[in-house]
Amino acid sequence: MRSKPEDQPKTISDLEQKVMDFVWGHGPCTAEACREGLADTHPLKDSTVRTILRRLEAKGYLQHDVDGRTFLYRPMEAPQTVAARAVKQIIDKLCGGSVEALLVGMVDHSVLDRKQLQSVAAKIASKKGTPR
């Protein structure tokens, strides 16, 4: 079953990803806190950070609350939720909806080794309540 278009996240640029990583790691924050937090690796103008935050909000990754005249941005979803939805898109588009095809491809191309795959299988089994 394919996801509805409105359930599919809009892609984000590498710089937008850096901002999202900062917000995920630091909780609700202002544009200034983002700019300062990224300054060592990505020096940005205040207006650039504000534009990126607005774009991420328009794409559904962030929302803001207003505290006086200050916007406090917070993520709409946990990074794991966003990642799971992105992987589902990959499975639907490139693997014909087959999780098995994705995992076999990951093992065949050394993305996952046997130990990692066994660890994933154990985690899945414990979530489903089935014996290992």
Any idea of the CA torsion for 103, 109, 115, 120, to the nearest 10 degrees? -20
Q: Does 90 score more than 80 pLDDT?
A: yes
> Cα–Cα distances in Å, from 68 out to 48, 73, 103, 105?
22, 14, 49, 51
54 and 88 assigned to the same domain: no
Domain that holds residue 88: 79-128
92 and 71 assigned to the same domain: no
pLDDT of residue 2: 39
99 and 71 assigned to the same domain: no
Question: Does 6 map to a domain?
Answer: no
87 and 67 assigned to the same domain: no
Q: Based on the structure, what is the number of domains in the chain?
A: 2
Q: Does 19 score more than 70 pLDDT?
A: yes
| Mean pLDDT in residue range 40-64 | 96
- Mean pLDDT, the chain, whole residue set: 88
| 18 in Cβ contact with 42 (< 8 Å) | yes
- pTM of the predicted structure, to 2 decimals: 0.73
**Residue ending a domain, choose from 59, 75, 91:** 75
